[in-house]
Amino acid sequence: MAGNANGEVAPAREAHDADCLDLRDVNLVCHDWGGIIGLRLVAEQPQRFASVVAANIGMPTGQTPVSEDLRKWPEIARQMPEFPIGRMVSMGCTGGLTDAEIAAYDAPFPDETYKAAARSFPALIPITPDNAAVPDQLRAWETLDRFDRPLRCAFSDMDPFDKGGNRALEKRVPGAQGQTHTAITGGGHFLQEDRGAELAQVVVAFLGRVHGGAQRG
Among the options 136, 159, 162, 194, which is catalytic? 159
Cβ count within 10 A of residue 140: 22
For the entire predicted model, the pTM comes to: 0.88
| 159 is a catalytic site residue | yes
Residues 34, 156: Cα–Cα separation, whole Å:
16
Share of the chain above pLDDT 70, in %: 91
- What would the mean pLDDT of 31-35 be, rounded to a whole number? 91
Establish whether 194 is a catalytic residue: no
Mean pLDDT, the chain, integer: 89
**What pLDDT is recorded for position 191?**
93
- For residues 177-206, average pLDDT: 95
What gap in Å lies between CA 115 and CA 119, rounded to an integer? 6
Say how many CA atoms lie within 13 Å of 164 toward its Cβ: 10
Domains for the chain: give ranges and CATH numbers: 2-67+129-210 (3.40.50.1820)
Rounded-to-10 torsion of CA 28, 33, 58, 77? 170
Average pLDDT of the segment spanning 29-51: 94
Residue 27 has pLDDT above 60, yes or no: yes
8 Å CB contact between 194 and 188: yes
Confidence band, pLDDT 50/70/90 cuts, at residue 212: confident
The closest alpha carbon to 185, from 176, 177, 194, 174, belongs to 194
pLDDT tens digits, 95-147: 999 999 999 999 999 999 999 999 999 999 999 999 999 999 999 999 999 99
* Active site (annotated) includes residue 32: yes
Catalytic site residue from 32, 136, 162, 194: 32
pLDDT at 99: 97
Q: Of the residues 31, 136, 162, 189, which is catalytic?
A: 189
C-beta separation of 26 from 50 below 8 A: yes
**CA torsion through residues 141, 148, 167, 37, sign:** negative
